[in-house]
Structure 1
Amino acid sequence: MTQNTPLTRNLLLNREYERVWQRHCGFLDLTLAESVAVQRRLLEEQFEIARKSKLWQTMFPAQVQELTLDNFRQIIPLTTYADYEPHLAGRPDDILGRPIQEWARTSGRGGRVKWIPYTPEAYLQLGEVSLADAILASAAFRGDVRVRQDDVVVTNLPARPYLSGLAQVATAEYVRFRLIPRLDEFEQMTYQERNAKIFERAMVQGMDLLGSMTLVLVKMGEYFESDASRQRKFTWQALNPRLLWRYIRARARARKEGRDHVLPRDLWQLKGLMCGGADTEIFRERIRNYWGRDPHESYGCTEAGILAVQAWDCGDMTFIPHSAFMEFIPAQDWAAERLQGAIPTRTLLIDELEVGSRYEVVISNFYGGPLLRYRLHDLIEVTAAGNEALDIHLPQIRFVGRSGDFIDLSGFAGLIDEKQLLTTLRDGNIPHSDWVIRKEILTNESILHLYIELTPETDLGADEVKNRFHTTLKGLNPEYANIEEMLGYIPVKVTILPMGTFSRYLAEQTEKGADMAHLKPNRINPSREIVDRLVHSL
């Protein structure tokens, strides 16, 4: 799969698009049995490589030579990063059974930095599936390859050593896109500098593929709709003929649709739009209206790269069998751990999943990587056994959230997750800039305390926000509705935050040099310290 990396570049130049599709997206043609066979073959290869590594010999001295496909789930316990941290934190170069090409970093909930080594094979695999993501984001049907060597690709996602930046560098091993910003400057810019400059450059150079966080796309669309956009003054840079011509054409498109404001879709006709964020589905229609394309999602992690992608219909996702070996902890087992402290031991494999059920994902690296039976603490839901309309015969899934990103308000109210809360705010017609929510105890009663910054034009008081939020959530979550009926109180409190609260928090975190994962507060159950900072932000 990851041999002869220049091949894709040559295939594109020679217009051999069918072979490009098979190389990068052919996994969508597999049967479930074939997918399982790929998983087993690559895991067997992984055992042969990793059993020779210092890491596995140190961590699993009694089991490493005995590992087989049939016994590893019995003799190796589930692991977390705490098990690997003493061995990986110093980023040694001789810890694996293969050379290390790159180190990727991410952060856990407590701010702990996690370092994950990528072997050359794992690095190339990341580039291969990242290009598959771009191909599928721009396709309209099976075999439709619209990406080209000279496509302009714009991204405002974090640079290397974060996964998004590493994926961009790895993709360059397969195809030479024209990047905004260029790779040599991408890693020198701060996140804010990239956001400020990339779209200015795209006004001149154009844009074919865009990768961004969902909220950034929504905020840009809102800005284009606002009065501020129409009052913007032109600078000397606007004298660039290509920029002027782009703007003139955009104005013509807007007038043709009866609008007095230009939208991003008028300026750029995107081939593909790759988004990330729990709220992508909530904002799908608005993004389509602003940008002219449906957002295309993937599911990935620093520990294993891209694990699942949407097909060309931008519907539910399909697991990529050659990214990592996957096991799944049933929902009742991780719920028992959460409520009773019972550590899960049972896992299912991909051909044992049930439609309608939720699972926590467990991965084992391929390609000489370090992780074995590693808990990601990510929850997915299986939505279908396949996609009949697209002739895909592999389980369809959607990402639900982190196993810690739920609020258990009472023993009978069920778990409340971020997507449910996002839907509540949308359907309850509560326009907002951002929010966080905590389970708190108020006069011996468990409540949801919503801290929310409303949009400037919103004229709602805390009581009206509370009523809309409570009424809408009751309609979405019947178990939540039981609280008012059974206990006789409305379990919601609302604090409206000053305008600009979240922007100030972001600026403060940036000045402190905070890790990318902590520039914004966790929406679900942030710490008391973070909430106090938001409430007292001036």
Structure 2
Amino acid sequence: MNLKKMLSEKQYDQIWSFYCGFLDLSLEQYMDIQKRLMIEQMNLWCASPLGKSILKGKNPKTLDEFRAMVPLTTYDDYADILLQKRADTLPDHPIIWIQTTWEGGKHPIKVAPYTRSMLDVYRTNVTACLILSTSTAKGKFDVEDTDKFLYGLAPLPYATGLFPLALSEEIDIEFLPEIKTAVEMTFSERNKAGFKLAMKNDVEFFFGLGSVAYAVSQSLSSMSSGGSGGLKSLLKCHPKMMYRILKAKYITKKEKRNLLPKDLFKLKGFMVAGTDNKCYKDDLEHMWGIRPMELFAGTEPSIIGTETWTRKGMYFFPDTCFYEFLLEKDMLKLMEEPTFKPRTYLMDEVVPGEKYEIVLTLLKGGAFARYRVGDMYRCVGLTNHEDGTKIPRFEYVDRVPTIIDIAGFTRISEHGIQSAIELSGLPVVAWTAKKEFSEDNRPFMHLYCEIEKDAFAHNAVSTDIIKEILTTYFKYIDQDYRDLKKILGMDPLKVTILRCQTFASFEKRYKKNITKVNPSHSDLIELLSVQNLQVAQEGGVE
């Protein structure tokens, strides 16, 4: 029985229990589910050629032995098998392969297999997210079979393309525009078509990357201000929408402000995923009149966590992955000492306030074991009196420090930056890059670089020239970087030229090298203090 059938029979208590019952688990019950499913997965994975290739002759019999014998893995450990889509080597037969960018400028794509059992779990948990996005308290939600959903997602083979397909197995929600049409459209075309349909017939749900949702929301105001397909199409609208549009026009004119989405639509549910959502949530709430509910999903792990009506942290679904947590300090040590073997912690061992890199073993026949997907979380509590939960909840922090992710679009690494510099032919002799945030809380990449002495002395290269040339090469080697400008209108690069010998003076003064990507705040302050000291000694003006 799916959600549509249960709604038609008004089985509201059963709906909540089936889809959202994991929120009522005690920590002991949660761990029982985790361990039971993990033992099943361990037996499948260890018996597969993929598992054997990583175990190298070891044969774990217990969960503790599995965690001791299977090393922490990254995509490099699976690439030879997965990129060839060698289904016969996997723990279970894949039904579909999902794709995403691996690392711009170095590896074009990575793919992840999904089994039928994984898709079944995905469907149930996506439906739970749909329900929770409308909830105001335990057991209270507002979902109908006639609801309409604004399509703000990338289509298959990307992971977000699974969302409408999974929901269609549960309920007849209408997507705007409809899926078979949307997949043939560009991002801009989908937005315009979706909003035209929404303005004619209303919309109840919206889901997208936080950054994309923000860009789409901004475009709505301009589309609704009198352009073709906007208010000029008033006569084609449903009478309810005609009244809203006329009322919104009157209110915005009276208040002397731009039209906002909340003037036209009353969303039941608003969901955002991806990185940097914290930069957009407040603005999105202002624009739509509803606080977005954050969930977390990825290509390799599928959908793993969601917030509730409190919007105060994400809870991880117990049946998607087996979760381990690597302390931030141990993650940093592992970056410096690759042979270091850190301890990982289970869900019943996490500590509020601590930041962790998450380590995942996919359940239900998944390929990835003890997998470092590259995401950092902070535990914000072990219980929550507001929603009555007794399991840990988390907030998403960011990607691991070796990656600069901007607005959920890019995966900029040291290799990518170095490749762009080398291809550009710019006289850059030393650099470090850090993800920073503007005064209006928007993410960007700040490149601090030192150029050749002659170029510096003769002012042959300016920050604007370096920025323009590097932007060209970033777009050349990284499609996702190109989309930042094309889709979001973002220019994510800022360049600061440091004086000659700044990096060498830093190394001499502090007896260490500065990290190329995302140096610590203290190291960056020390680097800039060396630069300022040089300026003072030379009698220059910065």
Distance 1:516 1:9, change over 3 A: farther
| SS of residue matched to 1:519 | helix
The amino acid that maps onto 1:215 is S
- Mapped partners of 1:393, 1:162: distance in 2: 34
Distance 1:220 1:376, change over 3 A: closer
Cα deviation digits, residues 163-198 of structure 1 (max 9, x gap):
111132122222221112222223322333212321
| Equivalent residue number for residue 89 of structure 1 | 83
Match of 2:171 among 165, 171, 175: 175
| Equivalent residue number for residue 191 of structure 1 | 187
The answer on whether the counterparts of 2:310 and 2:386 sit within 8 Å (CA) in structure 1 is no
Match of 2:21 among 7, 21, 26: 26
| Equivalent residue number for residue 43 of structure 2 | 48
- Mapped partners of 1:353, 1:367: distance in 2: 24
Which moved further from structure 2: 117-126 or 240-249? 240-249
The answer on whether the counterparts of 1:381 and 1:399 sit within 8 Å (CA) in structure 2 is yes
| Equivalent residue number for residue 122 of structure 1 | 118
| SS of residue matched to 1:383 | strand
Shift of 1:100: 1.5
| SS of residue matched to 2:364 | coil
- Mapped partners of 1:172, 1:71: distance in 2: 41
Cα deviation digits, residues 299-324 of structure 1 (max 9, x gap):
12111111111111222111211110
| Equivalent residue number for residue 277 of structure 2 | 280
The amino acid that maps onto 2:440 is R
| Equivalent residue number for residue 486 of structure 1 | none
Shift of 1:348: 0.9
The answer on whether the counterparts of 1:326 and 1:363 sit within 8 Å (CA) in structure 2 is yes
Shift of 1:158: 0.6
| SS of residue matched to 1:12 | helix
| Equivalent residue number for residue 456 of structure 1 | none
The answer on whether the counterparts of 1:238 and 1:244 sit within 8 Å (CA) in structure 2 is no
Which moved further from structure 2: 133-142 or 189-198? 189-198
Shift of 1:277: 4.1
Task: Map 1:94-493 onto structure 2 (within 5 A).
Answer: 94-110=88-104, 111-223=107-219, 230=225, 232=227, 238=233, 240-242=235-237, 246-253=241-248, 255=250, 258-260=254-256, 261-341=258-338, 343-403=340-400, 404-405=402-403, 418=435, 421-422=436-437, 424-426=438-440, 435-441=444-450
| SS of residue matched to 1:160 | coil
Shift of 1:48: 2.8
- Mapped partners of 1:280, 1:515: distance in 2: 21
- Mapped partners of 1:219, 1:496: distance in 2: 27
Shift of 1:49: 2.7
Shift of 1:524: 8.2
Shift of 1:210: 0.6
- Mapped partners of 1:368, 1:383: distance in 2: 31
Match of 1:520 among 462, 484, 490: 484
Q: How many pairs are equivalent? A: 453
The answer on whether the counterparts of 1:439 and 1:525 sit within 8 Å (CA) in structure 2 is no
| Equivalent residue number for residue 2 of structure 2 | 7
The amino acid that maps onto 2:483 is L
Cα deviation digits, residues 73-92 of structure 1 (max 9, x gap):
11111111111111111113
Distance 1:443 1:218, change over 3 A: same
* TM-score normalised by the chain length of structure 2: 0.75
* TM-score normalised by the chain length of structure 1: 0.75
The amino acid that maps onto 2:81 is H
| SS of residue matched to 2:353 | coil
The answer on whether the counterparts of 1:401 and 1:417 sit within 8 Å (CA) in structure 2 is no
The answer on whether the counterparts of 1:78 and 1:375 sit within 8 Å (CA) in structure 2 is yes
The amino acid that maps onto 2:270 is L
| SS of residue matched to 2:263 | helix
| SS of residue matched to 1:143 | coil
Match of 2:72 among 75, 78, 101: 78
The amino acid that maps onto 1:249 is R
- Mapped partners of 1:239, 1:525: distance in 2: 41
| SS of residue matched to 2:15 | helix
Cα deviation digits, residues 50-104 of structure 1 (max 9, x gap):
333332234335124x342121111111111111111111113323232211111
Distance 1:40 1:61, change over 3 A: same
Shift of 1:268: 1.3
Match of 1:17 among 12, 15, 21: 12
Cα deviation digits, residues 236-291 of structure 1 (max 9, x gap):
97154325752442331564574354321121111011113433223323212211
| SS of residue matched to 2:89 | coil
The answer on whether the counterparts of 1:160 and 1:166 sit within 8 Å (CA) in structure 2 is yes
The answer on whether the counterparts of 1:106 and 1:517 sit within 8 Å (CA) in structure 2 is no
- Mapped partners of 2:211, 2:319: distance in 1: 31
| SS of residue matched to 2:81 | helix
The amino acid that maps onto 1:87 is I
The answer on whether the counterparts of 2:378 and 2:394 sit within 8 Å (CA) in structure 1 is yes
| Equivalent residue number for residue 62 of structure 2 | 68
Shift of 1:334: 1.1
- Mapped partners of 1:39, 1:527: distance in 2: 46
The amino acid that maps onto 2:332 is A
Cα deviation digits, residues 141-168 of structure 1 (max 9, x gap):
1111311222111122111111111132
The answer on whether the counterparts of 1:250 and 1:262 sit within 8 Å (CA) in structure 2 is no
The answer on whether the counterparts of 1:31 and 1:394 sit within 8 Å (CA) in structure 2 is yes
The answer on whether the counterparts of 1:254 and 1:263 sit within 8 Å (CA) in structure 2 is no
Structure 2 residues without counterparts, runs of 5 or longer: 406-431, 454-461, 497-542
- Mapped partners of 1:417, 1:393: distance in 2: 37
| SS of residue matched to 1:136 | helix
Cα deviation digits, residues 373-407 of structure 1 (max 9, x gap):
11111111111122122111111211111112469
- Mapped partners of 1:302, 1:360: distance in 2: 17
The answer on whether the counterparts of 1:328 and 1:359 sit within 8 Å (CA) in structure 2 is yes
Cα deviation digits, residues 121-140 of structure 1 (max 9, x gap):
00111111111111111111
Distance 1:496 1:425, change over 3 A: farther
- Mapped partners of 1:385, 1:494: distance in 2: 48
Shift of 1:39: 0.5
- Mapped partners of 1:426, 1:159: distance in 2: 31
RMSD of aligned residue pairs (Cα, Å): 3.6
- Mapped partners of 1:220, 1:183: distance in 2: 18
The answer on whether the counterparts of 1:12 and 1:148 sit within 8 Å (CA) in structure 2 is yes
Structure 1 residues without counterparts, runs of 5 or longer: 1-5, 408-414, 445-461, 463-492, 529-538
